[in-house]
Amino acid sequence: MENPPERGQVVVITGASAGVGRATARAFAREGARLGLIARNREALEAARREAEAAGTRALVLPADVADSKQVEAAAAAVERAFGRIDVWVNNAMVSVFSPVKEMTPEEYKRVTGVTYLGCVYGTLAALKRMLPRDSGTIVQVGSALAYRGIPLQSAYCAAKHAIQGFNDSLRAELLHDRSKVRLSMVQMPALNTPQFSWVKTRLPRKPQPVPPIFQPEVAADAIVWAARTGRREVYVGFPTVKAIVGNKMFPGLGDWYLARNGYESQQYDGPAPPDRKDNLWAPVPGDHGAHGDFDERARPFSAQLWLSMHRKAVGLAAAAVAALLMSRRARS
């Protein structure tokens, strides 16, 4: 059931310095939420804080590496001291490596798993510690179509998103068993125009890109805010996400074949990356990079599929009314 947004809600967002997290912070700020902003890049977090204040609300800058559970817990405690109870927790932080499995290192797998999967677990534990005793609150996991369908060259990231999906299913069943009113949602994303493709660690011969079609991060942010408001179990964003998830359930072998032929080329564009290019696997790339990446000209600002999903009750009622009208006309003719 959808609840109207409450001004003054306290929302914690991990990975809030750039990309989807930055767009989500802006979206919640427009609704008047007070924000706890977690990421490694203090400079970018300060810029996000200024944006929130310009929107008429408050934000707390919390530099932390979500792969460290103690840092996540300390950030949660700081939010409580500053703003009071946490109403919404969004687990969004991620890192990745574009590389064939045969060229990956154990340390890289450990790092991607630590940030993208365990960072989500640690954030969830910090949120549950505060939400369960008062039996309220919403946790939103930022997922991906790749939580269901692994693709070549992103094995560490795909594995981490698969792990979040399994973790979420287990936790949801436990919350239902305990009759908890804490709500849990996972938002499965399509390819997005975020700065990660400018700084993700890569061994590809050409520059990495999101697999087209590409959507703007504001589309993702709208879905996250809506998921927090409604508590819907799972939200698919964009028809490509629906196609990937449903297609993989029906024809996984066909997906293997298709990605073997197309999965390499679709994740690269233009020429080779600059030799002095920095990546953010172990440390943030300095500077404020905002929400958008380099693909504004190709990115879609709207998803008809998401709009229909968010308004499916109204669409269903309208369709039923049209059907009834047509049947009435036929009966009179």
Residue 145: pLDDT band with limits 50, 70, 90: very high
pLDDT band at 1 (very low <50, low <70, confident <90, very high): very low
Does 3 have pLDDT greater than 60? no
- Model confidence at 144, pLDDT cuts 50, 70, 90, reads very high
Q: Is the pLDDT of residue 4 over 60?
A: no
Work out the average pLDDT over 60-68: 98
Tokens 């290019």 belong to which residue? Answer: 277
Over the stretch 261-302, which tens digit does the pLDDT of each residue have?
Answer: 999 999 999 999 999 999 999 999 999 999 999 999 999 999
pLDDT value for 318: 73
CB 24 within 8 A of CB 40: no
The 3-class secondary structure across 243-304, one letter per residue, is HHHHHHHHCHHHHHHHHHHHCCHHHEECCCCCCCCCCCCCCCCCCCCCCCCCCCCCEECCCH
User: Could you tell me the pLDDT band of residue 2, with boundaries at 50, 70 and 90?
Assistant: low
What would you report as the CA-atom Rg of the chain, rounded to the nearest whole angstrom?
20
Q: In which band, very low, low, confident or very high, does the pLDDT at 6 lie, cut at 50, 70 and 90?
A: low
Q: How many alpha carbons fall within 13 Å on the CB side of residue 218?
A: 9
d(CA 76, CA 319): 45
Spatial CB neighbours of 7, under 8 Å, sequence gap ≥ 6 = 31, 32, 33
- Render 39-71 in DSSP notation, one character per residue: ES-HHHHHHHHHHHHHTT--EEEEE--TTSHHH
What is the separation of C-alpha 68 from the centre of its chain, rounded to a whole number of angstroms? 20
Q: What is the mean pLDDT of residues 308-322?
A: 81
Crossing angle of helices 42-54/19-30, nearest 10°? 20
Backbone angles phi, psi at 298, to 5 degrees: -105, -10
pLDDT band at residue 323, thresholds of 50, 70 and 90?
low
Tell me the catalytic residues: 157
CATH 3.40.50.720 for domain 10-302, yes or no, is: yes
Question: Token pair of 27, please?
Answer: 């979206």
Averaged pLDDT, 183-194: 98
User: Per-residue pLDDT tens for 224-238?
Assistant: 999 999 999 999 999
Predicted confidence (pLDDT) at residue 17 exceeds the cutoff of 80: yes
